[in-house]
A and B are shown apart, each in its own frame.
Chain A
Amino acid sequence: MKPLLAGAALALFAGAVAADKLVIQAGKILTLAGEEIENGVILIENGRIAAIGAANSIETPWDATVIGGPEHVAMPGFVEAHSNSGMDRTNENIDVAPFLDIRDSVDPVAYYFEDCLRWGITTVNLQQGWNCVVGGQGMIVRPHGMTVEAMMMRPTYGLKLSARPKSGKSRATQAQALRTAFGDLRRYLEDLVQSEKDERGFAKREALFQGRDLEGEKSEGKAMTGKAWTVAGLELIPRGAIDEKQAPLLDVVEGNQTIYFECDRAMDVDTALSIARDNGFLEKTVLVVDADCWEAFDAIAAAGVPVVLDGELVHMHRDPLSGEETEKFAAGILAEKGIPFALTSRNSSTQSLWFQAAKAVGFGLDREDALAAVTSSPAAILGVDVGTLETGKLGNIVLMTGDPLKVTSLVDHVVIEGAHVYDRSKDVRNKQLLDGTQPSGTQAEPTPTVAKDEE
C-alpha cells in the first residue's frame, strides 16, 4: 500500500506549477516587518512579492490566480535554521570529511520534506549531524521538488564543525582533532608551495592524473586571504590543483564558507570560539547550541556570533551547593543578552516551528521575538531573501486558519516563490489520517488483516 500512497502524494506535490501572477488574500497579514495588515492582499510576480498592502490599495490583475480569503492569516513561510533530516544518515564515520556534500545524501521524496510543507516550512538549512569533527558541506533547500537540483536554493552552503565530542572521543581529543584538521591544512599548503618552488609540481601532476581540469578560474592561482593566518606563495598553485579533500577547509579559513559549530555544553562554546578565532572564521560562525550551554551565553554575546538553539528550550539547572533545581529558559536568556538566535523544530513533537515559538512564548519570550526566531532571524542568519513579507522579497507565504501561535491553527496553503505547493484540502495523506478515506486507486489490500495484526 505504501508505494502507491507515496505515488499519489508525489503527484499532488509535484503538480503545483508556478503561476506568473499570484494574488493572496488574507483577513490578516503578519508581515513581521512592521505593522500587521488587516484585510490585505499580496501580489506575487515571477516568484517575488510585487505588492503588499490593504485590499483596497492593490488592484488584482485580471490574469492572476487568487488564493486565500478573509478567514486566513498570511505570514512568511517558516525558516528551519538547521536540520539533519531528509538524509539517509547524518554522518560519515570519518573524523574530518569536509569534502563530502550533503546533496549526495538528500532524498527528495523523504516524508520529511512533505511534512515541512504541512507545517508551513518553506526554507530548510540542511547540514550534517554532530557526530563528526569536520563534517561535510550542507545546502539550503526549499522542501519541494522532484530532484535535489529543483529543491536547491543554495548548494554547498555551510560546513559542520563539532565541538561536541564525536562518539569515542573525549572533549580534549575532540578539540585536538579540530585543531589538527586546520594544522594539517596549513602544513599541506606549505608543502604544496614548497614543492612548486622546488619545481616538482606535485599538485598539478596529481590533479591532472585524477582528471581534474585546470581550466578557467581553476587554472589560476590566488593569494590566500585568511584573517588569522595565510600561507605565502599560494598564488603559485592553480586553485584547481589543490586537493579536493583540503579545498573546502581552505574556503573556511579564507572566510568564504559559513560554519555551523555544534556545542553541547558550555565548555564546548569556548572551544568552538577559540578555534574559530585561531583560524579567522569567527565572523562566519553560527553556533548550534543546546540549552545546556546557557552558562556560556556571555561568551557568545562577547564574540558577537549568532546562535541556532537546537533541541530543548529549557535546561534544568541543579545548584551544586543547595541542590535546588531551577529552569533556565535558554531562548529568554539569548533574547535578554541581545544575541541573534533562531529556533529549530528538533525535539519538539512535530516539525512545527510555530509550536516551538508558541512554547517559547509560554516560557515568557515576547511574541515578536518568538515569531522572528522562526522566520526573519533564521533568514538573516542564512542570508536568504525570505522571512518577512516586503516588496521584492521571495514569495514564500503560509496561509493559516488562525493565529500562528494558537494550537488550533492549521496550515491551509503554502506558496514557495510564487508556486502554490500545498493545499490542505488536497493533502491526500492528511485526509486519510483524519477522515479515514482512502485515496482512489489505493484500496489494494483488504482491511481485516490490520485488525489481526493488532491482536
Chain B
Amino acid sequence: MKVSTQLLALAAAAAVAASTPTAQSVAIRAGTILTVENGRVIENGVVLVRDGRIQAVGADLEVPLGAEVVDYGPDAVLAPGLVSAYSDDQGSRSTDRAANPMLDALDGYDFYAKNYALLRGGVTSTYVVPSNGRLLSGLGAMVKTFGDTREQRIIGSGIALHGAIDKSARTTPGYWMPPIPATVDVGIGYAVEQLPKTTMGAILGLRELVALGRTGAEAPEWGLGVGPALARAMEAKLPWRISAVEEHEVRALVDFAKSAGVVVVIDKAHGAKPVAKAIAAAGVPVIYQVPAWGSDHGKDEDARWPDYSVPAALIGAGARVAISSSTPTRLLFDAQLASRGGLSPEAGLRAITLTPAELLGVSDRVGSIKAGKDADFVVLSAHPLQGGTVLATWLDGALAWAPDYEADARRAAAEKKNERISQVPYPTIVVTADEIHVGDGTIIAPGEVLLRDGKIGAVGRRVPRPAGSEVVHTSCLMPGIIDARGHLGLDGSSKVPSLDFDLKQIMAPGDLVDQRVALGGVTTVVMAPRGDSSRGAPSIAYKPAAQERQVVRSPATVQMQWADDNRLNSGKAVRSLLEKGKSYKEKWDEYHAKLAKWEPSDEEDAITEAAAESEEEEAAEDEPKDDKKKKKKKKGDPELDPDPVTGRWIADAKNGDAKFRLKLVPAEGSGDVEGNLRAPSVSDELVELTGSWNRDEKKLLASGLGSKGWVQVDATLQAIENEAKEKVWKLVGTLTAGSTSSEFTADRTSKDYPVAGRSQGRPVKPEVAKEPKGKPREPRLDPGMEPVKDILEGRRVLVVTVSRGDEIVDCVTACSEFGVKPVLYASSGLYSVASRVASKLGGVLVNSADARTEDLQARGVPLAFYSGMEEGTIDLALMAAYSVQRGMSPDGALRALTSDSAKLLKIEARVGRIAQGLDADVLALDGPPLAPGTSITRAWVNGREIVTE
C-alpha cells in the first residue's frame, strides 16, 4: 500500500477542486490498464488526461512537464468507468397512454443528486429510464453520475425508445379524456381500450407504431403527437429498447426485430437461454438484466427461479450482450454473478462498459480507455470481474470517489461534532428573571440564579456575581422538565433487559434530537424499556442532551406488570419478586445485626489464616468449576484469572488509528471466542469478530469482515510491567486489514461484555480485604436483587403497570404488606378506587390522556408526567398545559413536571427544583410556565447552554 499517502493527498486536492475538469495534465499510472478497446491490456501503463478527456494511453508515454502524476502501484488495475444500462430511481408511475415517445427521461432525473453510492460501485455513466410499464414509455437518456451542473452531466438525451412487451406493460388502463365542457360536436365519450393485454397484442402494437413512425402522421388512437415523435426517433435511427422477460416474449421480439426494419435491443431477457441461437442469428443485441436478488421470487409453478448463466450462453452463441443490474450500485458484483456458466473476464468487463455504450449510442464519449474519450476510470485492487474492489473512481478527469475520501468526510464531521463536546470548564452564569418558579410551588419574583460548575450555586432575590460571570436576563425561569417514563435513547428497541443489566451501556452523548428535546424543555428522561418483564426490568434516569454527567440514577426504577394473561395469576410475579427481595434483604439485615454485635479481637496472627480460609470457602461456593481450583493451586500468579479474555479492551496502536476498541467473550464450552472491534481505519462499522482463544499458549486469533474488507486480530496475552512496577496482563499483537497491519498493545478496561437484554453473567465479586477472624461474613452481593432490596428499604421505586380498579386495590394492598408504596402506571381505573388506595401510593405516572389527574392531585397523590415516547417527549410541557386547561392547577402541573416527579422517582437530590446544590438544569421562558403561548427561549443542562447548529 505504497500509494496510500499519495491517495490521501490527492483526495484532499480533489475535494477542493470538486469535479470540475482540471486544466492541468494528469498522468495516472497503474500496473494493469484494461482499455477494453479491442481487448487491449497495457502492463505498467500510463493514461494522460487533460481537460477531462483522455489525451493518450500507452506503456511508454512521455509524461509532460508539470503534469501531476498519480501512481496506483503495480497491483492496481485501471478500467474504464462502468456504464450502467439501467437506473432504478424512476418511479413506476407512467402516463395513461400505451405509447408515450414524447416523455423525456431527463425531466425526471435529479441533477442535484449526489450519487456517491454509484461512484463507490465504480459506475460513472448511467442510462436514465423514462418510466417503466408501458409498451413504449418514453425516451431514455444517458448521464454522468456526478457533476456540478446539468450540462456537465448530460451525455445524450433521447438516445433510445424505451418500452416493454412483458407482463409489466400489459396493465395499461382504458384511456378516457372527458371533454370539459361537453359540446354538441364533442360528446362525453367513453373509455378506449388500449393494446396490449397479451404478448401478441404487444407485438401487434409495436408493428402499428413502427408503421406510424414511417408515415409520421397523427393517429388519435395512439394519442396526439405520437406519430411525429416516432418519426423523429426513427429518423435519428434510435434503438428500440424493449424489455422481454419470458422465453416466448424474447422469441416474439426476435421475430419482430427481423422484420421491423428498426434496431431492436432486447432488455432484461431473463428467459433468453433457449433462444440464444436465434438471437445470435438475427443479430439482435441484448441488455441482460441480472434479476434482483435478496427478495422472494414467488413459488408459483411458472415462477422464474434465477438463472445467472444467460449471458454466458448468449455470448457463447455469438450474440452481443451488455449486462445491467436492477440495482445499479451493485453492477460490478452482479456482472461477476452473471459470468456464471463460463464468461471470460474480458467479455464480462466489455458487457458493463463498451457494449452498453455502443448499444445506447454513446460510445464516442464513454465505455473504453481511448484517446479523445472522457476520462472516466475505475481503479481496482484486481481485475473487476475477478473480485477486485474499487480503490478510486475518476470522473471527467478528476478523482470523484475514493475510500479515503469518504472516510475523511466522516472523520471531519465527527471531529466537528467532538468540538461541541467541549472539555472546556463550565461557564459561570447569572440568570436574572422576573419570576423564578422553583418547582415546588414557591416563586421568587424577581430573582436570580447562579449557575456554576454545572450546578446551581445560589438562588435568591440577589445572588453573588463571581468575577467573569455572564449575566443573562429572562422573563421567567423554571427547572428542567423530567419525563417520568419515556423511551428516548432506546432507538426503537423493544427488548426488555433483565434487572442486573446496566442501561448505562446503551446511553449515548446528546445528539441533535436530544438537544431539540432539551430546548423543548425536557432535560431528564427516565428511559424505560418498552414493556415489562415478570422478573422486573430496570430503567435509567439520564439527561439525553448532556455530553457528560449524563446519568442521574441507574437503575432509576424497577418496572413490572401486575396483570397476567391468565388473570388468576395476576400479581404473582410482583409478589414473588418482593418475596425474593425480602429474603435477600433479611440475609443482609442479619449480617448487619451480627456486625453491630461483633467486637474485633486483638489476635493479629489469626488474620492471614482467616483470609485464606475465607477465600477457599468462597471459591467453592461461588464457582464450582474446576477453573477455580487451578486458581487455588497457582496462587499469586496473575494467570489464574479464569477468564482473562472477556471484557472491553482499549488498544494503543503504533500506526494507523491512535486507539481502537475491542470487546471479547469466549463462546461457551469451547475454545472459540467472539466479540467485536471498532477501529475507524479498517472499518466504518462495527466489525464482528470470531476466532479462537488458546489458553495454554495465551494466544488470541480472531477475524471478521469490516466495511473495507477482512480484518484480523492476532495477539498474545503478556504480562507487562507498568509504571507502578506491577505486572499487568496486556494483549500484544497485530491488527491486519488488507495489506496494512499495525502493532498494538491493549489494556482491559472492563471485565463486562455488554449486550442489551442479556444478563451480565456472574456478578463480579468485590475485592475482599483481609479481615480479622470472627468477623461476620458478608452475604453474596446480587446485582439483580440490589434494586429490589432498595425498594423494600424505600430507597428506590417500584413501577407497576396495572389498570383495572380491582387489581389496583390488590396491587397496593400486596405491596403494602411488604411496606412498599408502589408507583402506578397506565392506571385508567384508578379514579374509581382512589380514595381507598391514595394513602398507600408512592405516586402515579400520568399523561394528558389520563382523566381526572386534578382529582388525584387533590387527594394528595403525587403525580409525575410521562410521555411514553422517544423524541415525542418534547410535547410533555404541552401535555401538562393541556391538563391545566382540564382543571389541574398550574402550580400542581408544574410540580408534576419537576419537583413532584423527582421526589416520586427519588432523584430529587439531583434534579427537579431550582435549589442550591442541584444540577443546573434550567429553562428560560418568555412568559408564565405552562401557558400554551409561552415558549422556551433558552435551556441549560448541567450548566451548559443547549445550542443546536
Contacts and interface: CB of A to CB of B under 8 A. Distances in A.
Contact of A176 (B103, B111, B150): B103
Contacts of B114: 320-321
A307 to B, nearest CB: 17
Nearest to B90: A170
A261 B476 CA distance: 44
Given A245-B180, A296-B112, A408-B927, A172 B409 contact: no
Contacts of A172: 90, 103-108, 130-131, 138
Interface string B920-947: 0000001100000111000000000000
Contact of B104 (A176, A209, A265, A320): A176
A296 B185 CA distance: 46
Given A206-B185, A267-B112, A324-B413, A175 B933 contact: no
Nearest to A97: B180
B649 interface: no
A407 B130 CA distance: 50
A260 to B, nearest CB: 21
Nearest to A96: B180
A426 interface: no
B410 A323 contact: yes
Interface residues of B, number: 46
B110 A173 contact: no
B949 to A, nearest CB: 7
A455 interface: yes
B372 interface: no
A407 B933 contact: yes
B225 A183 contact: yes
B341 to A, nearest CB: 36
A60 to B, nearest CB: 35
A405 to B, nearest CB: 11
Interface in B402-421: 405-406, 409-410, 412-413, 416-417
A296 B150 CA distance: 12
Contacts of A271: 107
A326 interface: yes
B506 interface: no
Contacts of A197: none
B851 interface: yes
Contacts of B927: 407-408
A20 interface: no
A407 B185 CA distance: 61
Contact of B180 (A94, A169, A173, A183): A94
A170 B183 contact: no
Contacts of B949: 326-327
A454 B91 CA distance: 45
B242 to A, nearest CB: 19
A266 interface: yes
Interface in A242-291: 245, 265-267, 270-271
Interface string B115-148: 0100000000000001100000010000000000
Interface in B166-190: 180, 183-185
Interface residues of A, number: 43
A267 B405 CA distance: 26
A424 B183 CA distance: 53
Contacts of B103: 172-173, 176
B108 A171 contact: yes
A210 B111 contact: no
B742 interface: no
A183 B138 CA distance: 17
B742 to A, nearest CB: 24
B512 interface: yes
Contacts of A210: 183
A184 B224 CA distance: 9
Contacts of B102: 176, 180
B174 to A, nearest CB: 16
B725 interface: no
B948 interface: yes
Contacts of B410: 321-323
Contacts of B948: 327
Contact of A321 (B105, B224, B406, B416): B406
Nearest to B886: A454
Contacts of A183: 225
Contacts of A220: none
Interface string A395-438: 00000000000111000000000000000000000000000000
B94 interface: yes
A39 to B, nearest CB: 26
A275 to B, nearest CB: 10
A407 B131 contact: no
B946 to A, nearest CB: 14
Nearest to A295: B112
Contact of B111 (A180, A270, A407): A270
A325 interface: yes
A206 B116 CA distance: 58
Interface in A173-191: 173-177, 180, 183-184, 187
Interface string A292-333: 000110000000000000000000000111111111000000
Nearest to B223: A180
Interface string B874-901: 0000000000000000000000000000
B131 A173 contact: yes
Nearest to A326: B949
B184 A209 contact: yes
Contacts of B91: 170
Contacts of B104: 172, 175-176
Nearest to B15: A321
B625 interface: no
Contact of A319 (B131, B413, B933, B934): B413
B93 interface: yes
A407 B108 contact: no
A216 interface: no
A441 interface: no
A455 B416 contact: no
A3 interface: no
B95 interface: yes
A188 to B, nearest CB: 11
A175 B225 contact: no
Interface string A224-255: 00000000000000000000010000000000
A322 B111 CA distance: 20
A91 B246 CA distance: 43
B111 A168 contact: no
Contact of A173 (B93, B405, B406): B93
Contacts of A173: 93-95, 103, 108, 131
Nearest to B103: A176
Nearest to A174: B107
A176 B413 contact: no
A117 B94 CA distance: 44
Contacts of A408: 926-927, 933
Given A206-B183, A323-B410, A327-B949, A267 B416 contact: no
Nearest to A268: B110
Contacts of A171: 107-108, 110
24 contacts: A94-B180, A99-B180, A165-B93, A170-B90, A171-B108, A172-B104, A172-B107, A172-B108, A173-B131, A175-B104, A176-B102, A176-B103, A210-B183, A265-B112, A266-B110, A267-B109, A267-B112, A270-B150, A295-B112, A321-B114, A321-B116, A324-B416, A407-B935, A455-B851
Interface of B: 90-91, 93-95, 100, 102-112, 114, 116, 130-131, 138, 150, 180, 183-185, 224-225, 405-406, 409-410, 412-413, 416-417, 512, 851, 926-927, 933-935, 948-949
Which 9 A-B residue pairings sit nearest by Cβ, starting from the closest? A172-B108, A175-B107, A324-B413, A322-B413, A322-B409, A321-B409, A172-B107, A170-B93, A171-B108
Given A321-B409, A327-B948, A407-B935, 19 more contacts: A97-B180, A170-B90, A172-B103, A172-B108, A172-B138, A173-B103, A184-B224, A187-B224, A245-B180, A266-B112, A267-B110, A267-B111, A267-B112, A270-B111, A271-B107, A320-B116, A324-B409, A407-B926, A407-B933
